[in-house]
Structures are given as structure tokens and as C-alpha cells.
Amino acid sequence: MAEPVSEKDKILYFTHAKFITEGFYKTTMDEIAKDLQISKKTIYKHFPSKESLLEEVCNMRIDYMNEKIDEIVISGDDSVTKFLKLVNMHKSMLMNCSDMWFKDLQVHAPHCLDKFREMRESRLVGVLTKFVEQGKKEKTVQNVPIQILITALMGAVDSVTKSEFILNSQYSFHDAIRITSEIFFNGILTDSGREKYTHTKKLFENVIQ
């Protein structure tokens, strides 16, 4: 995410990092003010309540995801690379999120979880459809019905990324998305597509290391 420049942004970016690593339910405005070495009055000048601060944090995450998705879509990359970039973007967004963050969302702010789910459903269906269509032209994706393919994928992703699943399983959000993506890729790619996927995935892993 971009570096904060305004006073409001500094509060928002700091609180975002605190909420996703420590959870928000037990975090107080006093703690945030103390950590930032500012007065609570300064925070309330920009955010009338902790709930409004949480809303802004969630909106910021959604805006950032949309921005990154746009960058991937308009890039000149092949479809397999776009798929992998999309998966890596989601993994990086979830990597620093603690179980407490997801538990707090589930118990105390389910409407925020609904926001994330709605964004994923409304945005990703169109994006993935474009990627599949591109992949068919590149002969890296099999000629399977797109509507069935995307519906099945979105259903699988929705199931394994629900906070109830993550909180009650041995898998993290990161692992759930990675495993689901690999099952998806191996199922729809042609032989040349799988070869491209394996090669590109190794390149991504080397960069991350």
C-alpha cells in the first residue's frame, strides 16, 4: 500500500496494521492514540468511532485489491501469469492477517466479511472470465464451459476462505487459496498450459525467496 501522507492516512494505515495482526475487538482508541503518540481527540477528528475506523480499514483493503486487480488485468502478460499474479496478490493480502482478525470479523463485524465476499464475487467473476477466454486463445486453457468453470471455482474459493473453515481447520487463508488454485489450474490447463504454469510458478517462488 502507498505511504500515508496526511494525518488521517497515518492513523488509518497504522490502525490497519494493528487490526489485522492483533484483532480489533479488544483494541481501544486509547491504545491507538498512545501507540501513535497523539491524542484521542485527533483520532476522533477524522473517525467518530472505532466502528467507523474499522469500516475505513476494510474499505481501504478493498480499494487496494481493486487497484492491484486492475494492474494485473491491463498488463500484457499471458493468462497463466495473470492467474498466478492474482493468486499471489491475494496471498500477500492475507499473509499478515491473524486468526484474531478473522475471528473478530466473524463474530463482531460480519457485515465487513460480507463486503469482502461481495467484492470478490462481483469483481473476480468478470476478471477470471477474461483470463479463461484469453487462455483459450493462447491454447493454455482447455475448451470447457466458462460459466460452469467460474461458478465451480468461486464456490470452492468461497467455501475454503470462510472464516469458520479457517478457524476450525489446520489450513490458513494462504494455504486454502494456494491449494484450491492448484487444483483449479491442474484441472483446466492444457499440457502446454501446465508447463507454462509450472515454469512461471517457479519464477514467482524464486522472486519471493
Distance from C-alpha of 116 to C-alpha of 65, rounded to nearest angstrom: 10
Please answer whether residues 185 and 197 qualify as being in contact, where contact means their C-beta atoms are separated by less than 8 angstroms: yes
- Give the total residue count for the chain: 209
76 pLDDT tier (thresholds 50, 70, 90): very high
pLDDT for 4 equals 62
- State mean pLDDT over 3-18: 90
Pick the CATH number of 7-208 from 2.70.98.40, 3.30.360.10, 1.10.357.10, 3.40.190.10: 1.10.357.10
* pLDDT per residue as tens digits for the range 82-127: 988 998 888 888 888 888 998 899 899 999 988 988 888 888 889 9
Query: Beta-carbon neighbour count of residue 127 at 10 Å?
Result: 17
Distance from C-alpha of 154 to C-alpha of 62, rounded to nearest angstrom: 18
One-letter amino acid at 65 equals M
* pLDDT per residue as tens digits for the range 134-184: 999 999 999 988 888 888 887 877 777 666 676 677 777 667 777 887 788
* pLDDT per residue as tens digits for the range 22-47: 999 999 999 999 999 999 999 999 99
Distance from C-alpha of 186 to C-alpha of 141, rounded to nearest angstrom: 10
Instruction: Name the burial class of residue 170, with classes exposed (0-12), middle (13-18) and buried (19+) by CB atoms within 10 angstroms of its CB.
Output: exposed
* C-alpha Rg value of the chain to the nearest Å: 19
Asked whether residue 208 carries a pLDDT value surpassing 50, the answer given is: no
CA 180, chain centre distance (Å)? 14
